[in-house]
């Protein structure tokens, strides 16, 4: 049984730890309020931008883009944002809980058809434990996010989407009608890369339509 002196020592140790954690809590709270203020200051801009885009889309008689075509969902990309460290309340836990629910909804598609882009160490660790493949390291974006990095990530997602969905090939070069070849390629390589490889063995050119849904081989 612990002596009275040992008990008093433990109480003092707990009190000292409480002071440290209290100070850390205050620092984390100040950072959280600063981030919250920054987000709230962007809300008027977001509302105005949404209004402008809504007006623009409503006034356009016809818009063609592979990104607005309704299709059966066969492959998904999930971009999830969390933090690299703790001391932010239930933020990480809530994000991970919603992520688990979302991935469970898409799991029937197969793990190979679910691409996860985790921004933040905490959520990246959670994705690994769940058994899903991570599509890159984006931890730096959680600490100091920038517009350019977000734009680069969005551009990468759009490029991957265009490589995978709804590309129709129209062969206008009659000399290629009887052309046959075989080989292996990765979906991530994209149609353009594969056609460039084929150009090494036969003569043809190719171009895309304005909406990027058709490739003409000439």
Find the mean pLDDT for residues 5-34.
Answer: 78
* Strands, sheet with 168-171, edge to edge from the N-terminal-most edge strand: 168-171, 214-217, 206-208
Catalytic hit among 60, 88, 181, 185: 88
Percent of the chain beyond pLDDT 70?
Answer: 81
Beta strands (DSSP E) in the chain are 76-81, 114-119, 168-171, 206-208, 214-217
Find the mean pLDDT for residues 136-142.
Answer: 80
Least confident segment among 18-27, 38-47, 150-159, 183-192: 183-192
User: Tokens representing 24?
Assistant: 């850390």
Looking at mean pLDDT, say which of 16-30, 43-57, 69-83, 96-110 comes out highest.
96-110
Residue 62: its pLDDT value, please?
65
Give the pLDDT band (50/70/90) at residue 41: confident
Q: Is 88 a catalytic residue?
A: yes
Residue ranges of the domains in the chain? Answer: 1-63, 76-164, 168-217
Is the whole model's pTM more than 0.85, yes or no? Answer: no
Residue 85: its pLDDT value, please?
80
For the domain made up of 76-164, the CATH class stated in words is alpha beta
Measured CA to CA, the distance from residue 88 to residue 17 in angstroms comes to: 18
Residue-averaged pLDDT of the chain: 78
5 pLDDT higher than 60: yes
pLDDT digits (tens, 9 = 90+) for 86-108: 767 788 888 889 988 988 888 88
Task: Supply the DSSP symbol for 2.
Answer: -
């Amino acid at each position: 049984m612990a002596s009275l002196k040992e008990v008093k020592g433990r109480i003092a140790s707990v009190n000292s730890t409480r002071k440290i954690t209290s100070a850390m809590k205050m620092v984390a709270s100040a950072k959280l309020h600063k981030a919250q203020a920054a987000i709230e200051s962007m809300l008027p801009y977001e509302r105005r931008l949404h209004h402008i885009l809504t007006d623009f889309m409503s006034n356009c008689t016809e818009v063609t883009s592979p990104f607005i075509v309704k299709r059966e969902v066969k492959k998904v990309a999930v971009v999830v944002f969390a933090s690299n460290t703790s001391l932010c309340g239930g933020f990480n836990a809530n994000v991970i809980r919603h992520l688990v629910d979302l991935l469970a909804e898409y799991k029937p598609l197969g793990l190979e058809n679910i691409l996860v882009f985790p921004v933040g160490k905490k959520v990246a660790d959670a994705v690994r434990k769940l058994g899903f493949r991570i599509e890159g390291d984006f931890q730096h974006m959680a600490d100091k996010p920038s517009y350019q990095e977000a734009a680069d990530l969005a551009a990468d997602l759009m490029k991957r989407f265009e490589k995978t969905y709804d590309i129709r090939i129209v062969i206008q070069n009659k000399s290629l009608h009887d052309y046959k070849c075989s080989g292996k390629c990765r979906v991530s390589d994209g149609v353009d890369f594969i056609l460039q490889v084929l150009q090494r063995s036969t003569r043809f050119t190719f171009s895309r339509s304005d909406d990027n849904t058709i490739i003409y081989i000439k």
